[in-house]
Amino acid sequence: MSNHLEVAMIQAVTTLYARGWSRRRIARELGIHRETVSRHLALAAKPARNPPAGSEVLCGWPPPPLNRPPTAPVDTDSKPATNLPAGSVAWGQGDEASAVPANLAVTGAMASVARPGPPSVCESYRLVIQAKLQQGLTAQRIYQDLVGEASFRHSYDSVKRFVRHLCVAGALPFRRMECAPGEEAQVDFGRGAPLADSAGRRRGTWVFRIVLSHSRKAYSEAVLRQTTEDFLACLENAFWSWGGVVRTLVIDNLRAAVTRADRYEPELNPRVAAFCVHYGTVILPCRPYAARHKGKIERGIGYVKDNGLKGRTFATLAGQNEYLRHWEQTIADTRIHGTTRQQVGPLFTAVERPALLPLPVERFPYFQESLRSVHRDGHVEVAKAYYSVPPEYVTRQVWARWDAHTVRIFNHRREQIALHARRPAGRFATAVAHIHSAKIWGVERGAAYLLQRAALLGSHAAQWAQAMLQNRGIEGVRVLQGLLSLASRYPAGAIDQACQVAVSHQSYRLRALRELLTHGGTVQEPLPLLEAHPLIRPPEEYAALVQAAFHGTTDPVPHDPATGSTQANLRKGASS
């Protein structure tokens, strides 16, 4: 008879042994080998050394004594156990009873199987050891305390074995997580088929695979490296091959997608986060070292490796991908899945494809991104060109993201602070809004701005500035800057008064204004226009001179300043 027993036979062995039967008698009555009986009794009595993740470890309760059949809790009316803590149940009979916390139960075969061998030397210290285990102490610490406090004379190994038997692992069943159509897909990489050229040189590949959790529809693609660009390109190809986008992506902590793995707050690669925003999906990395949380893709990777690529070699990467597409359509999609009990391809077409999110208008614009330091001139270098940022980011670090057409600058909170068109290498792109007001020259602001500033000094200063600019043209712009610079040394009233004097003298030199501000000056009054003046000859005299010139008279014609008439006029009056 085979030494691998069925469950009913194992239960018969343990039950008979619990009743006090010897191994030889059990083997003879059941028709099995004595060593088989011993092996199954040892397996039933041996606790799990490394409990699987997710199991519940119950420590602090003892199984029944190993040198005698277990009994039910003693009847306290016949002979009560003494010195038992409150809330405990007594195991054994009479003076040999030991206390077990009432909230801990003995389950499974351990409740009915006696442990072979003599009783442990630590049995008399059971309550003390249990109390220390509940405090979280290790076996080494318990041994030290027993030696120091209870004069324990035995070895550390005896304490370690006793503690190991006290801690029995009861594995809890895994909970299955089934998903609605279009809700989730699981992603991972595995080893692909090698590439071999004509010279016999071989190169390894990676196979990307994504599996829809509801229908088990999958997409596979071979790549040479697991870079972020390859990861996003494969994801995008999968979405477009399905004709829709899944709502949630469950991935391992791939370096191509996760920059910092964390159980509660993993940090995604910025390009991966932007990809998710573009397609309207969400990436949820698994907990580190918990690959069972994406069991569908773990099995899917094994399926494509064993069924599709094992034992195959391809000449080119394109040839391997063409084979994978054919294999998915003819083999993977036509199989009846062992869990869903339905054909994968028709289930996807009928149920899951209509539930996928719609694709965006265009594919994801791939870009490059890197951390950059802002130079003292307020620019960052991207692909050997220079782009400005707001002045408050000088000497700080920012994120630069660029593609073939644009350059975007982000701060550490991933907020966009600048947007530029791509420039050739060696060129500068400077936005006016990124120049501090203190660093903008007056000439750059223009003459209109300078005239407005001059008007703040006074009405005469504005009049002088306007007249000066009309008189001197474009070179007067720098003179306006000089006029405004005088305000740092002289009061506005004094400058306005000096401008009034300069306007009255029609002097439009900055040097003249400085002299007026230093030495002062008076306003030049305008001269009145006179119809007659003693020093000015009347028009009649000029007429007489013209007549004399025509008649050949050369005698001078005296002029009487008192009367303003000439002698010729006097003689003419006398003859008449």
Give phi and psi for 556, each to the nearest 5: -70, 145
Question: Mean pLDDT, the chain, as a whole number?
Answer: 79
Is 205 in contact with 194 (CB distance < 8 Å)?
A: yes
pLDDT for the residue numbered 249: 95
pLDDT attached to residue 525: 55
Structure tokens at 118: 């003599």
Collapsing DSSP states into helix, strand and coil, what is residue 142? helix
Cα angle, residue 37 at apex, residues 36 and 39 outer, rounded to 5°: 65
Structural domain boundaries in the chain? 46-170, 184-355, 368-436, 442-519, 539-575
122-148 confidence digits (pLDDT tens):
988 988 998 888 888 889 999 999 998
d(CA 275, CA 360): 11
Q: pTM of the full predicted structure?
A: 0.50
Q: What is the mean pLDDT of each run of 10 residues along the chain (576 residues)?
A: 69 86 88 87 68 43 40 38 40 36 36 58 89 88 90 90 74 76 94 90 95 95 94 95 95 90 88 92 88 83 92 94 95 92 94 95 87 91 93 91 89 90 91 75 67 87 88 81 86 88 85 84 59 71 79 58 50 45
Q: What are phi and psi of 574, to 5 degrees?
A: -70, -40
- Contact between residue 205 and residue 224 where contact means Cβ atoms under 8 Å apart: yes
CA distance 47 to 115: 11
- CA-CA distance, 379 to 386, in Å (whole number)? 6
Residue 97 CA to residue 123 CA, distance in Å, equals 11
CA distance 554 to 545: 9
- Output Rg (C-alpha) for the chain, integer angstroms: 52
Q: Which pLDDT score is estimated for 565? A: 52
Question: CA–CA distance from 424 to each of 385, 400, 406, 433, 497 (Å)?
Answer: 6, 16, 12, 22, 54
**Starting from the edge strand earliest in sequence, which strands make up the sheet with 397-402, in order?**
368-373, 397-402, 406-410, 416-421
d(CA 301, CA 307): 10
Give the E-state strand segments of 403-523 in sequence order. Answer: 406-410, 416-421, 428-429
- Number of other residues whose CB lies within 10 A of the CB of residue 419: 12
Q: What pLDDT is stored for residue 353 in this prediction?
A: 96
Closest to 443 (Cα-Cα) out of 486, 485, 477, 479: 477
Give the CATH number of domain 184-355; options: 3.40.50.300, 1.10.3720.10, 3.30.450.40, 3.30.420.10. Answer: 3.30.420.10
Q: Supply 31's token pair.
A: 């028709």
| pLDDT score for 519 | 79
pLDDT (0 to 100) of residue 168:
54
Look at residue 434 in the predicted model and tell me its pLDDT: 86
Q: Which of 433, 425, 424 is nearest to 389 (CA)?
A: 433
Nearest Cα residue to 91 out of 104, 74, 69, 76: 74
* Single-letter residue type at 300: G
Phi-psi region of 209 (alpha: psi -120 to 50; beta: other; left: phi over 0): beta
363: nearest Cα among 282, 275, 422, 242? 275
pLDDT, tens digit, 9 for 90 and up, residues 49-87: 444 444 444 444 444 443 434 433 333 333 334 444 444
The Cα–Cα gap between 496 and 480 comes to 14
Place of tokens 């991104």: 369
Tell me how far CA of residue 49 lies from CA of 107, 160, 163, 569, in angstroms: 17, 12, 12, 151
The pLDDT value given to residue 555: 56
Backbone angles phi, psi at 23, to 5 degrees: -65, -40
User: How many other C-beta atoms lie within 10 A of the C-beta of residue 89?
Assistant: 19
Residue 293 to residues 216, 262, 265, 296, Cα–Cα distance (Å): 16, 15, 17, 9
CATH fold of 368-436: SH3 type barrels. (2.30.30)
Q: What is the CA angle 423-428-433, rounded to 5? A: 110
Please state at what angle helix 34-45 crosses helix 23-30, rounded to 10 degrees: 120
Report the amino acid identity of residue 8: A
